[in-house]
Amino acid sequence: MTVTPFTKTDLFDGKVILVTGGTGSFGQKFIRHILTHFKPKKVIVFSRDELKQFEMAQGFPNEPRIRYFIGDVRDYERLKRAFDGVDIVVHAAALKQVPAAEYNPIECIKTNVYGAENIINASIDCGVKKVIALSTDKAVNPINLYGATKLCSDKLFVAANNYTGAQKTIFSVVRYGNVIGSRGSVIPFFMEQKKTGVIPITDERMTRFWITLEQGVDFVVKCLGRMRGGEVFISKIPSMKITDLARAIAPECQINMIGIRPGEKLHEIMVPADESRNTLEFSDFFVIKPSAPWGGIDYDAPYDGEKGKTVPQDFYYASDNNTDWIDIDGLKKVAKAA
């Protein structure tokens, strides 16, 4: 996916924008992008860790437009206080580590599901205009708890458009694959394992979607401009083979097959076949329309001047049936940049 300039300045200029999980990899990159390319009135970082906020502030010296709020998405009252006067919310906070979610399921549910409910209620109660929630390919046909909670979260945000009443708040979801170089990415792990001379691979058939942090931020920014409320936006991004990534990072190392881990898939899906009847395809993204539309919204009208095409029945978009792939040479560049 090519990053092209986004010029709809009236979307952000003079606005108050809040990012939950704002100290994370995505949050910091998104906030820097907004402050660099637009003229927001204020950007609020909402997160739990005061140390991460302190460290983040060192990277934004003398920036008067940033505010730092300590808080947890589990705490509705704190969210309501933070959302006062906010125009746009980008919800990036989540418990994301699959093994940790399996071991601490209730904690994952409290943050990813109840936290989504709190975001929705606080946004409506405070008159926020736009809310976009970050999802994951693991939310499609989930086999682990993290994916299941994100599927539930996605459903909550789509259905939230039914509950706005007289308020004008609209909610949509953005879904993309693994982010290159983000915390938890496999690249730093492979770099460390390279020192041992052995790279462990769970299954030689495994494929994954990949997107850079910059592309992820760009896609979210564009979807904030496109959204009408109720859509799930899916970015068209390349796939890669895990074995190719290992060979790109450590060609001299032995590859050791260790078997697939609990909660892990061979391939990732971003548009399931069951949603094909509600899916529109565009040049660089898909839109899954809500199965029960409301409010007279015309989802078939063009987005950014482009009219979507209905996908074939039983179409699905997965990392193994993708037409766009990163080869070993491309992965070498990706790993170096990460």
Give this prediction's pTM: 0.93
Strand segments, DSSP code E, in 36-119 are 42-47, 66-70, 88-91
**pLDDT tens-digit profile, the chain (338 residues):** 445 545 566 899 999 999 999 999 999 999 999 999 999 999 999 999 999 999 999 999 999 999 999 999 999 999 999 999 999 999 999 999 888 999 999 999 999 999 999 999 999 999 999 999 999 999 999 999 999 999 999 999 999 999 988 888 999 999 998 888 676 678 888 888 889 999 999 999 999 999 989 999 999 999 999 999 999 999 999 999 999 999 999 889 999 999 988 888 999 999 999 999 999 999 999 999 998 877 788 999 999 999 999 999 999 999 999 999 999 998 888 777 76
Superfamily of domain 11-177+210-236+273-319: NAD(P)-binding Rossmann-like Domain (3.40.50.720)
Beta carbons of 219 and 1 less than 8 angstroms apart: yes
| Domain boundaries of the chain, sorted by first residue | 11-177+210-236+273-319
CA atoms in the 13 A half-sphere facing the CB of 305: 0
Amino acid at residue number 100? A
b (16+ CB within 10 A) / e for 44-74: bbbbbeeebbeebeeebeeeebbebbebbbb
Per the CB < 8 A criterion, the answer to whether 43 and 66 are in contact is yes
On whether the CB atoms of residues 150 and 138 are closer than 8 A, the answer is yes
Residue 181 region, left (φ>0) first, then alpha (ψ -120 to 50), else beta? left
Catalytically annotated residues = 138
Q: Which amino acid, residue 214? A: E
Structure tokens at 286: 């898909």
